[in-house]
Each structure stands twice: as structure tokens, then as C-alpha cells.
Structure 1
Amino acid sequence: MAETTGSTSPSLHIVVFPWLAMGHMIPFLELSKRLATRGHAVTFVSTPRNAARLGLGLGSVGPPGVRVVALDLPAVDGLPEGAESTADVPRDKVGLLKKAFDGLAAPFAALLAGFSRKPDWLVLDFTHYWAWPIAEEHQIPCAMFIIFAPSHMAITGPEQENEAHPRRTTEDYMAPPPWIPSPCPSAYRRGRHEAERMAAAFRPNASGVADVGRLWAGMHRPICRLVLYRSCPEVELEPPPLFPLLTKLFSKPAVPAGLLLPDGADDDESSSSSFAPAMRWLDEQPRGSVVYVALGSEAPVTAEQLGELALGLELSGARFLWALPRLRERRLLPEGFEARVAGRGVVSSGWVPQKRALAHGAVDAFLTHCGWGSAVESLRFGGGHPLVMLPFVADQGLVARAMEARGVGVMVPRDEGDESFDRDGVAAAVRRAMSEEEGKVLARNAAELGEIVADTARQERIPTLEGAEAQPDSGRFSI
């Protein structure tokens, strides 16, 4: 994030601090690496267990140019012992994890005060409502890095627009808000279940603070100079152009940082030995015959939904590899399921190196929750995998509908009332994505979009930002 005025920028000290979820930490770490390759000194802040998960040593033992600092997460009543990320807790405990995270305010302030070289920039997540006053005290300019799809941020909107146009019912969240210009793309549609989860983000959780309140607390502060988005204009779907809209809505320069994917799949963030048997199984399968199934680490999947998904995979007749990271969820699978699908289906527990799985020649389709990171990883490393899409929360429905409109995937059908799904719908969607006729069309479209995703030079070009105030003579920012 160096301001450039036509000459080479001096080296900066940049502190990067993500929220405690793998879907946040991984792109924040990739951003850190990109900054370091440009000659900047980067301090990446997390907790001890998460640093280990990411394969990071402490101190100077990290990616070249990246220093890793781990802050101990304080204990909170009700939070499982040793829990340091959303992967460690059930969905209903994430609010308590945020409460523990808020306890890092004092250690983070001490960290900033103790640097021999004062940071030039802080890069923070949406969760850090307590960090902005600390930055102001130390007079350190900040950037917020948003890993959600930009369309999700546009729908959330700024506080002043929400006050002017309050959304009081679930139905209010099912329609595009009035601050998004018409005509609105199909991606902005929301089902009732999705709208209810959107509405919940506006209400305080167990941490005592609403997720949207955390976001707005940073957006309001002058010390937050700009907002980075894990995206680029080329992968956004339809008008309105999102980055100018977001700049206007939040009164902060909206900077596309690119998709921040590694150059290849071999350097995956995890090489867990627990996945080795699954990789050996993949090696034994015919080329293009397997559907890879992964719903991320935060999808609030119920026991009933797990059962329908499992029985749908069984009913589809397809070979499948299912990454099910939580052991407690594996115990909820239907009785006898794994025995019945033995040989053509594998359930893998533990953290799965997803990019390696997607890049494997045996994989033909990807059944996904359509988190933004997973969607772009599939396009980048899958080489044209059709998506079977089963969204749950946050921006996932938006991403899924955008991918559907791009012709790269099919939705698992849901009931329009309660948005439930069943085994027949799962089986039908898998068969469509892997069919000879429709599957080939989806794969071709996915490959074409994947070429855009892989074009890092286009994504990382320096955007022009009218009205940027960091330097009087500068209208450009670069990472």
C-alpha cells in the first residue's frame, strides 16, 4: 500500500492482522507476501496455534520479509480450551471467539508501542473495532482488507444509508437496498433463510457487538484511509460497477487488491499428513471422475443437512472425496454411510489442502458452499471444474448466483420457504455438473473465467483513485 508519485517508493513497515478464521488468515498472509516481495517489512499478527496452522514460525521465521508475531488469546467462559479459530468451535460459539479476540486490544497496543520502528501502515480486518482508537493514538494510518465479495459489502451498505432506509423485517433483506442503482443484477436476490442470517449480522452476538457494528466502527474513522477488496473488476458480474459504488457509499477509496492466490497449488497452506490417504485414493481414480466436496470451516450445517448431503452423494452414483474437517460432524453422518460408499467415496477428516485437491487430475467437479475464496480457488486451480453450489451464510449466496449467471455451476435446489434441501436435489445437481452434455458447457465456461482469475498481472495493476488523500500529489495506490 505504498503511495506512489512516479518514483520508487521507500520501504515501509506494515502490520497485518486478520480475524481468526482460515478464510481470512490465508488471504491476509498472501497479501503480506506480496507486500514483502515489493521490499516492504511486514509484521503478520495472529495467535500461536493459528501461526502453526499456517506453517509459520515465530519471530523472523516466516515467508521472506514477513515477521510473525503471536499474541496469546485470553480465556473466555464457554469457549473451548485451545480454541483459536472458527475451525475450533461450533457456529454458536463464534461470538465467544470474537469476545476472546477483543481481549487482544491491550496486547496489540503494547505490540505497537514496543516496535523499534513505528509501523507506517496497519492492515486490519472488519472485526477490529477496538484497534482504530489504538491506531489514532499512535497516529498510524490504516487500511481495512475485506475478503468478502464486494457485492456483499454493497448490500450491507454504510451506517448512514441504513439509518435513512432502515431494514426491520426479513423481507427487507430479501430485496436490493435502495442505495444500489437499478437495474440490479440477479446476484442480489436473497432467499428468506439467507436474509435472516444477513439480518443477524446487524444484531449483537455473544461478544456484545454486532458484526456490522464492527465493520462500521472502522469505516467511520478518518484513520482508515482506504479499503482493500479481495477482487478485481474483471470477475465482478454485472452493472453497477462495484468499486466506484463502494468508494461513494463508504467515502473511502475502494481498491481492488486482486484475488491474491498463490502461483501454484504445491505451496498449499497445509500439507497435513491426515490427508495423505485421501490423496493416494485420488491417485487411483480415473481422470475426471471425482466430485470434490468441501463446505469450508464455518458453514452452519445441521445434522439433518449433513445427512441429506451424504445420502445425496450416495444416490448420485458419483465418486467423491468429501473434506469434513470437524470430527464431530463426521460422527453425525448417517449410520452405515461410509461402509456403503466404500471404494467410490472417501470422507477425510482434518484440514485438507484444498488447492492440491482441486488441481488433481481425478477431480471433475467441486461441490462447494461458494465462499469467495473457495470459488476463486476452484477457477484458478481447478482448470475448469463445474461448481455444484450449496451456499449457507454471508456472501455465499451472492457468489453462487453470480457463478450461476456466468454459467460455471448449478445450484442444489432448495425449498423456497425454509430453504431446506434434500438428497434428491443433491444427487440431481451432481449428475448435471458431471454429465457429458451440460457438464462440458459448465467446464468450458469455468475454464474461460479461470483465465481471468489466473491473470495476476491484470489484477495487480495500479488502480487510479480519484480523491485519494494520502498524498496531495498522489492519485494512485499500489500493493
Structure 2
Amino acid sequence: MEEEAAAPIAAGKLKVVLFPWLAFGHLIPFLELAKRLAARGHAVSFLSTPRNIARLPPVPPRLSSLITLVSLPAPKVDGLPDGAESTADVQPEMNELIKKAVDGLASPFAAFLSNSPAMIAFFGPRDARGPSPTWEDFTAPPAWCGGPSSSFPSAVAYRRHEAEWIATVFRPNVSGVSDLDRTWATIERSRLVIFRSCEELDPGAFTLLTDIFQKPVVPAGILFQPEFSDDDDKPEERPEVLRWLDDQPPKSVIYVALGSEAPLTAHNLRELALGLDQAGVQFLWAFRKPAGMCAPDADVDTLLPAGFTERAVASGRGLVRTGWVPQTLVLAHAAVGAFLTHCGWGSTVECLAFGHPMVMLPFVVDQPLIARTMAMRGHRRRGGEG
């Protein structure tokens, strides 16, 4: 497939191809990486499927000559609904079909990529756990993650209900390949591995992973650049959520967002709403409907306790917003004092960049490990301060 011609590249600059996993928790950070590279004069081709490309935030005009968005035709997969091109478009149990669709986009872009170096360190190299590990294998830290310099405190591991789920990533799914085989194949065929993290967030992880995989494993930093947003250049287009925050006292609002991939249910959403109601806190909720569980035009109020949204708006205590919310700008706002998060890696590093306390509600994948690691590090910091 031919892509649009890019602007001439200056001598000594790179041509970089980025092809993130089809989930917005990966697409958005990879787009930020593309902006960082382009700002340094490198040309970037960002590959995804047409619907995902269309849903990305706009590239700042000053960088558009160096970033080429390339649409790869979305393959047809039996059982995958029309228009489903990311994990945000399907129920969690259909994610395996998204992986099969990725395979249809052709090698060498059929690799499953992970953002969290801690989880990769926990899984270890291909031959570390045997061909068919059971849930018991994940309820304690592995031997190679021990030691005072490790990014894994001794108490951080999966609970049983989490471990039963995580063991499935070692087994082939409907695509014919397991998630971990994809990850290992990607690492084994690479000259080096780059993770969205830094030594401060994952102390010891890069040394540990370099030793495990016998090749350089380096940090990319948190890939967080709020100044790339065009919102400040157009005050008249300032998003409604930021204008609402402008009217709230400093550090008074808890921001609630559970990412694009957490397997939410209607029960989760109702319980969370009841908790916010009973806590009596000011809140901004970036609301996401459970994927595939309701019609696209379903009213938010039908998923929440009766009168919840009306009471929040009438009292001025809360705002429930569907659709895109500029998360980094929200977290940067002076009115925000805490973040209720699913502990996806992207949301975690963005929260830490602004120093907010986290109310942690992990669901799957690396989220439980991230939550426990952050809780233990936070406990040690408070102990050191006291």
C-alpha cells in the first residue's frame, strides 16, 4: 500500500513507522510519541485502521508535514461486528477477534505490544514459566523479580480471581496465537526494546529486563506533552469540561475515568455512581458506556441510578460527560485534587506527572500489579515523610 509523500527529511533525521495495538490506551500514547519525534525533525508514519485514524485527535499544524497518518484496510473477521476496529468497539470477550484482525493487517505489524515494563518483567522470558502455567504461578512474585533493586516489592502479585484471567494470555486464542507468544516474538526479533516509562516510575525494571532478554531495554519517558494541545491557541473553543472546572474551587474535584479497555458492566457503573453520591464529593466523570452492552444512542441516565445525573447537575456538585475528554488538560487543572482510575499505565503516568492522589479501581491485565505497586510506593513515601 502506498502512503502519501512526506516532506523532505533533513540529513541525519530518521524515518519512523509506528503501528500501535488497536486500543486507544495505546493509540493515544503512540500519537504523542509521533509528535515528540516530529518536533525533533524526524518523519513519522503512523499506521492504523481507517476508523481509528479518524478518531484520533488532530495533529498540530506545525507538525503535520512530518506526521503521515496511514490507513490500513480493516480486515473482515468472522464474528467481529462491522466497524469494530479497536477494543473500545467490542465487549471484552471479543478482544481475541481484534487480535485476529491485527494478524490480517500483515506481518511485521502483527505484534501485540504492552505499555507496562513491570508486567513484562513479571511474565519473564519465554521459557521461564513452562508451556501451560496455572493461576497459582501468578499469585507470588517470580524469583527473577526479587532483590532490593527490583521494581517488584515482595508483596506485589496477582490475586486468585486476577490470576485465573492472566493465565489465559499464555494460551492460544481464536487468532491461533497466545498474547504472550506475540510479545515474546516481538522482543526476540528486536534489536532493542523501548517502554513508556522511566527509572523513577519503574526503579530497577530496565536493568532487570535487559538481563532477562539479553538486549537493551530503555525508557522512553512518560511521553506526556500537554503543550502539544491546540486548545490554548483557541480560547473560544475551550472544552466544556474545562470551563466547568474553571468555576470549581482549587483541589475540590475528583476526576473519574476508567479508560478505554476496562471491562465495565452496568453494575460497575451503578455502584460507582452510588459511591460518588454517598461520598458527597465534587466530581467530573468521563463516562464510558460498557462496550457492546447497549445501543450507541442509549441514554446515560438509563445506566445510572434514577436521578443521579439530574441531582449532580442541579447541585453543581458533578458533571457526567460522554465522548472525548482532554484528560491531560483536566489533570493539569487547578480544580482537580484526585483521580479515580482503573490504573491503566497511560492514566497512571499522567496522574503521577501532576502529583495527584489516586483512588484505584483496577480490573485486568497489568492494572492490579500497577495498583499494588503504586499503593506500596505511596505508603513508603508517607512513612518517610512522617
TM above 0.5? yes
Find the counterpart in structure 2 of residue 228 from structure 1: 194
Query: Are residues 199 and 211 of structure 1, via their aligned partners in 2, closer, same or farther at CA, if it must alter by over 3 Å?
Result: same
Find the counterpart in structure 2 of residue 345 from structure 1: 318
Question: Within the alignment, does 1:278 sit opposite 2:280 as a pair?
Answer: no
Question: Within the alignment, does 1:169 sit opposite 2:134 as a pair?
Answer: yes
Name which of 141, 144, 155 aligns with 1:179. 144
Structure-1 separation of matches of 2:183 and 2:245: 41
C-alpha contact (below 8 Å) 1:367/1:390 kept by paired residues: yes
Find the counterpart in structure 1 of residue 376 from structure 2: 405
Find the counterpart in structure 1 of residue 25 from structure 2: 23
Three-state SS of the structure 1 residue aligned to 2:303 is: coil
Name which of 138, 153, 166 aligns with 2:120. 153
Residue 9 of structure 1: how far off its partner (Å): 8.2
Question: Within the alignment, does 1:288 sit opposite 2:251 as a pair?
Answer: yes
C-alpha contact (below 8 Å) 1:14/1:42 kept by paired residues: yes
For 1:267-319, what per-residue CA distance to the aligned partner results, in whole angstroms no more than 9, with x for missing partners?
Answer: 48xx9x99944333323322221111001010012222222211111110111
C-alpha contact (below 8 Å) 2:102/2:110 kept by paired residues: no
Query: Are residues 404 and 181 of structure 1, via their aligned partners in 2, closer, same or farther at CA, if it must alter by over 3 Å?
Result: closer
Three-state SS of the structure 2 residue aligned to 1:391 is: coil
Name which of 271, 279, 287 aligns with 1:316. 279
Query: Are residues 335 and 265 of structure 1, via their aligned partners in 2, closer, same or farther at CA, if it must alter by over 3 Å?
Result: farther
- Correspondences of 1:260-275 after superposition (within 5 Å): 260-264=223-227, 266-267=229-230
Query: Are residues 247 and 352 of structure 1, via their aligned partners in 2, closer, same or farther at CA, if it must alter by over 3 Å?
Result: same
AA at the equivalent of 2:279: S
Find the counterpart in structure 2 of residue 458 from structure 1: none
Structure-1 separation of matches of 2:200 and 2:110: 24
Percent of pairs identical after alignment?
A: 54
Query: Are residues 9 and 190 of structure 1, via their aligned partners in 2, closer, same or farther at CA, if it must alter by over 3 Å?
Result: farther
For 1:342-397, what per-residue CA distance to the aligned partner results, in whole angstroms no more than 9, with x for missing partners?
Answer: 331222111211112112222111100111110111122x3x32111111112112
Q: How many correspondences in the alignment?
A: 358
Structure-1 separation of matches of 2:306 and 2:78: 34
Query: Are residues 390 and 76 of structure 1, via their aligned partners in 2, closer, same or farther at CA, if it must alter by over 3 Å?
Result: same
Question: Within the alignment, does 1:189 sit opposite 2:157 as a pair?
Answer: yes
Query: Are residues 78 and 40 of structure 1, via their aligned partners in 2, closer, same or farther at CA, if it must alter by over 3 Å?
Result: same
Residue 340 of structure 1: how far off its partner (Å): 3.7
Structure-2 separation of matches of 1:175 and 1:289: 38
Structure-1 separation of matches of 2:155 and 2:32: 28
Structure-2 separation of matches of 1:14 and 1:32: 9
AA at the equivalent of 1:181: G
Find the counterpart in structure 1 of residue 104 from structure 2: 103
TM-score, reference length from structure 1? 0.68
Residue 231 of structure 1: how far off its partner (Å): 0.9
Find the counterpart in structure 2 of residue 67 from structure 1: 68
Find the counterpart in structure 1 of residue 79 from structure 2: 78
Find the counterpart in structure 2 of residue 333 from structure 1: 304
Question: Within the alignment, does 1:219 sit opposite 2:187 as a pair?
Answer: yes
Residue 176 of structure 1: how far off its partner (Å): 1.0
Structure-2 separation of matches of 1:257 and 1:125: 22
AA at the equivalent of 2:76: A
C-alpha contact (below 8 Å) 1:18/1:125 kept by paired residues: no
Residue 193 of structure 1: how far off its partner (Å): 2.1
For 1:209-237, what per-residue CA distance to the aligned partner results, in whole angstroms no more than 9, with x for missing partners?
Answer: 2211211222233xx11111111112225
Find the counterpart in structure 1 of residue 3 from structure 2: none
Residue 16 of structure 1: how far off its partner (Å): 1.3
Residue 265 of structure 1: how far off its partner (Å): 7.2
For 1:111-136, what per-residue CA distance to the aligned partner results, in whole angstroms no more than 9, with x for missing partners?
Answer: xxxxxxxxxxxxx6842xxxxxxxxx
Find the counterpart in structure 2 of residue 467 from structure 1: none
Structure-2 separation of matches of 1:35 and 1:280: 31
Name which of 375, 392, 407 aligns with 2:348. 375
Structure-2 separation of matches of 1:218 and 1:392: 26
C-alpha contact (below 8 Å) 2:45/2:69 kept by paired residues: yes
Name which of 215, 218, 222 aligns with 1:259. 222
C-alpha contact (below 8 Å) 1:325/1:351 kept by paired residues: no
AA at the equivalent of 1:147: N
Three-state SS of the structure 2 residue aligned to 1:201 is: helix
Structure-2 separation of matches of 1:393 and 1:171: 17
AA at the equivalent of 1:173: F
AA at the equivalent of 1:153: I
Structure-2 separation of matches of 1:178 and 1:211: 22
C-alpha contact (below 8 Å) 1:310/1:334 kept by paired residues: yes
Question: Structure 2 regions of 5+ residues with no counterpart?
Answer: 1-9
Q: CA RMSD in A?
A: 3.1
Residue 95 of structure 1: how far off its partner (Å): 1.3
AA at the equivalent of 2:142: P
Three-state SS of the structure 2 residue aligned to 1:188 is: coil
Find the counterpart in structure 2 of residue 360 from structure 1: 333
